[in-house]
Structure formats: C-alpha cells, structure tokens
C-alpha cells in the first residue's frame, strides 16, 4: 500500500468515526413501560403501532432513537416499582407508559422525566394531572373511555342475552381504575332490572373458582373489567366463560378475536400510534405540561357470532348492523 492509499484509508476511517460519533450524539432515548407480557400478541401490536407512528415522524429505532422496553415479567401478573425503576435509571429523554397500572408504578419514580401516558381512564380523577387542557408537570398523554362506558357493556350484554338477570363483574383490585366501573355498571343494571355482584381477583389461582361460582347460579352474565391481570389471563377467562355457558362482554376488540362473545371499547392501537406525535414534540423541545391530554376518538363494537352460537344466543340483526366487526 503506497502513501496516497494510506492517507485515503485514514481519511475514510476518520470520516466514518466522525459520522458514528455524530449519530451517537444525536441518538435520543425512549423508555416504554407497558403492562403486558412481552409475548402477548396484543402488547406487541400496541408497540408496533407506536413504532409505526414514530417512523412516520422520522424516528427510526436504531438510527436516531433507542427504545428500551419493560414488560410484565414472565410468571408475574403485574408491573412492579422495580420494573419502572430500572427504566428510570437509564435516564431516557421521555417515557411512554400504559395503561393505568403502568403509570401508577412509574409516576412516583419519574418526577422530572417527561412522560407520555396511553390508555389512562380519567387521568384527572385518578390524580395524574390537574386538568386535561393544561396538565402541567412532567406528563401528558392519551386517555381512553370514561367510566360511563360500563353502562354500554351492560346494555350490550342484555341485548345479546335477554335472559340474563344477574351480572357478575370480575376485576383486579391492584389496578387503580378497575373498581370505578363498578358503581356505573351497578346503576345501569339496576335500570334494566338486573342484579349485580363484583368479585376481586387477586391472583391467577382465584380465576377458576370465582368464575365457576358465578356460573353455578342461573341466568348470570359476565363482565371482566379492564386490568393487566384480566388481560394476561384472558384465554383462561374466555375459555371458562364459554365452557360454563356464561354470556360475556369485554372492553376491547382482542377479546372476541380470542373467542369471547362481544366487546365495546376504544381502538387501543390508534392511541399508541397517536402517542408518537407527543413523543416527537417533546423530543423537539415541547414541554409535556403544555400539551393537552387527548381523548379517544375511535370506538369499536365487535361481535363473535361463533361464540354466540356456542352459547345458544341469537344476536339481533339491528345490533349486527351497527357492529364495526362481526366474527363468523
């Protein structure tokens, strides 16, 4: 190799080194705390929607942004403060947290790091922000339905299964928002002449005996309330409800996709994709407290006709006509 070739090679090496150094300096860091198991297809779909939203805004993972994920540990039912703590210790530029249970364990540990939350029910009532229009502080984000949506679940269950005279709710008491649906559902059921009862599910071992006890009484229907434990074990809950012939209504589309009877709720993937816009703005200098909390705009009614047939139910044509998706 002659002297000119050595100089050319050295110059190229220095240029590559400078480019790599510049890329490293411009790399931004996003933390994602999501109350889902990493192998859950629904959790992965939410993250995929977030990545798509970021890509459309020019943020490419591994190129100009690093994304660190923290999921519910395999074998556990919930995120823990330790899960949030390991993410905070990385000092990301911004953290995305969702749903409510994730934000609950993150907030006390991330008082200065900007936070974009997703799928939070009633963020003002839960004490996360003082106002939707002016959240202030270090967080803002995207809320999902209000607790009043619980009345819709009652109406949907009664319309598909008119013989239901009692509605059983199961919920995870560790989820900060779950219990707030109960009085709404109680009131809606009462107006239709339907009795209600709620059951707290503290761990996976309680799922089968509780649902079996519910099914032992005639004319019962089942409404599992939103929460990480319910989501993580939805296959078991759905299978039990169907085997024990309990008409069942849920909060999100992925339940009837997995075999449940019906659902009414927000398009959660849309919320995660929209969250990318706030992450983008914060990375470009906006303060989260100046960005108003946005509410869900896309709701979905999904009915599983195969499940209805297995339960011996006939779904009214008027309801099928208004459904966003019918699974046959």
pLDDT digits (tens, 9 = 90+) for 285-295: 999 999 999 99
Sheet holding 262-266, edge to edge: 249-250, 262-266, 299-304, 325-327
Chain centroid, CA 1 distance in Å: 60
Domains of the chain by residue range? 26-145+267-297, 149-266+300-327
The predicted model gives 160-176 an average pLDDT of: 94
Mean pLDDT across the chain: 92
- Using alpha carbons, select from 19, 25, 27 the residue that is nearest to residue 283: 27
> So what CATH class is 26-145+267-297?
alpha beta
Task: Give the tens place of pLDDT for each residue, 66-116.
Answer: 999 999 988 888 899 999 999 999 999 999 999 999 999 999 999 999 999
Q: Which CATH number fits domain 149-266+300-327: 2.60.40.1180, 3.40.50.2300, 1.20.140.10, 3.40.190.10?
A: 3.40.50.2300
> In which band, very low, low, confident or very high, does the pLDDT at 2 lie, cut at 50, 70 and 90?
low
CA separation for the pair 48, 282 (Å, rounded): 20
- Using alpha carbons, select from 87, 160, 141 the residue that is nearest to residue 313: 160
φ, ψ (nearest 5 deg) of residue 91: 55, 55
Between 228 and 207, the higher pLDDT residue: 207
What is the token pair recorded at 253? 């589309």
Identical fold for domains 26-145+267-297 and 149-266+300-327, yes or no, is: yes
> In which band, very low, low, confident or very high, does the pLDDT at 25 lie, cut at 50, 70 and 90?
low
- pLDDT > 80? residue 160: yes
Instruction: Say what the pLDDT of residue 177 is.
Output: 85
């Amino acid at each position: 190799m002659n002297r000119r070739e050595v100089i050319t090679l050295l110059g190229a090496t220095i240029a590559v080194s400078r480019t790599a150094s510049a890329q490293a300096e411009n790399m931004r860091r996003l933390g994602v705390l999501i109350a889902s198991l990493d192998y859950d297809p629904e959790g992965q779909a939410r993250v995929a929607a977030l990545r798509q939203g970021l890509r459309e805004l020019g943020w490419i993972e591994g190129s100009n942004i690093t994304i660190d994920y923290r999921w519910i540990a395999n074998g556990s039912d919930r995120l823990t403060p330790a899960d949030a703590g390991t993410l905070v210790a990385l000092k990301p530029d911004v953290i995305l947290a969702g749903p409510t249970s994730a934000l609950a364990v993150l907030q006390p540990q991330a008082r200065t790091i900007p936070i974009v939350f997703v799928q939070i029910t009633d963020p003002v009532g839960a004490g996360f922000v003082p106002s939707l229009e002016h959240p202030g502080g270090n967080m803002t984000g995207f809320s999902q339905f209000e607790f009043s949506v619980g009345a819709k679940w009652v109406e949907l269950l009664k319309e598909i299964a008119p013989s239901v005279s009692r509605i059983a709710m199961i919920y995870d008491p560790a989820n900060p928002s779950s219990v707030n649906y109960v009085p709404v559902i109680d009131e809606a059921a009462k107006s239709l002449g339907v009795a209600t009862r709620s059951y707290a599910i503290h761990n996976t071992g309680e799922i089968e005996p509780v649902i079996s006890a519910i099914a032992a009484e005639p004319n019962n229907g089942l409404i599992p309330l939103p929460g990480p434990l319910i989501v993580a074990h939805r296959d078991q809950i759905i299978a039990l409800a169907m085997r024990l012939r309990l008409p069942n209504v849920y909060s999100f589309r992925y339940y009837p996709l997995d075999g449940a009877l019906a659902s009414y709720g927000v398009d959660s993937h849309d919320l995660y994709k929209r969250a990318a816009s706030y992450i983008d703005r914060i990375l470009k200098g906006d303060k989260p407290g100046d960005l108003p909390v946005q509410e869900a705009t896309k709701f979905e009614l999904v009915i599983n006709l195969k499940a209805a047939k297995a339960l011996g139910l006939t779904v009214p044509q008027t309801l099928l006509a208004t459904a966003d998706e019918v699974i046959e």
